[in-house]
Amino acid sequence: MNLTPARWIGLFLVGLMALGAWRLWPNEEKRVRRVIEGLARDASFTGGEGNISRIAKVNAIANRFTIDVELHVDQVVRVESALRGRETILGLLMVAAPAMGAVQVDVHDVQVTLGGDDTAQVKMTASAKTGGRQGDFNAQEFELQLKKVEGEWLIARVDAVLGYRKPQIQ
C-alpha cells in the first residue's frame, strides 16, 4: 500500500477528528467519573478564597446530588441517622464553608459500574489534606449510587464504608 503525503494528512485529520469526538462526547462511565472528580474539585478550598467563591462552590456541590439524596456517613461524622435531602447538605455546607481553612480533596481508585436503568454504582476512596502544620491527611472509602435525572448524573446515596477501628477497651 503506497501512501502519498496527501493520504497521510487525510488519515491524520480523520484520527484527529475521532479523538476530538471521543473527548467531546464521552461515554456514560466518563460522565459519572466527571461528576465525582468535579465534586472533589468543588470540595477543595484554598485559604485565600472569599466567601462568595466558597458559596458558589457549596452550591455546585449541592447541585451534584438528587433532591432526595441519603448520606449514611456515621462512620465519618458523628450522626445518629442518615442525612437526607439536598437542602440539608446545602445548609450544613453553608454553615461550615466560611469557617473552613484550606483543604484539598482528592478521589482515588474510582470504580464505576453502570446499571441498565440509568443508574451507576461507584466505589472510591476520598482523601482530604488540610493546611495544618503536619499536613493532616484523612482517607475514607465510600460507595455511591448515582442516577440519571433529566440527562444529568446525580448522586442519590452515599455510604461510608466501615474500615478498621481500634476496639475501645472499657
Domain residue ranges of the chain, discontinuous segments joined by +: 66-161
By C-alpha distance, which of 19, 39, 21 is closest to 153?
39
Select the highest-mean-pLDDT range: 78-82, 83-87, 94-98.
83-87
Counting residues of the chain whose pLDDT is more than 90, the rounded percentage is: 44
- Out of 2.60.120.380, 3.30.500.10, 3.40.50.2300, 3.10.450.50, the CATH code matching 66-161 is 3.10.450.50
The Cα 133–Cα 135 span in angstroms is: 6
Question: 86-137: per-residue pLDDT in tens?
Answer: 999 999 888 887 777 788 899 999 999 999 889 999 999 998 887 665 556 6
Are 62 and 76 within 8 A, CB to CB?
no
Is the pTM value of this prediction over 0.85? no
Burial of residue 18 (CB within 10 Å: 0-12, 13-18, 19+) is: exposed
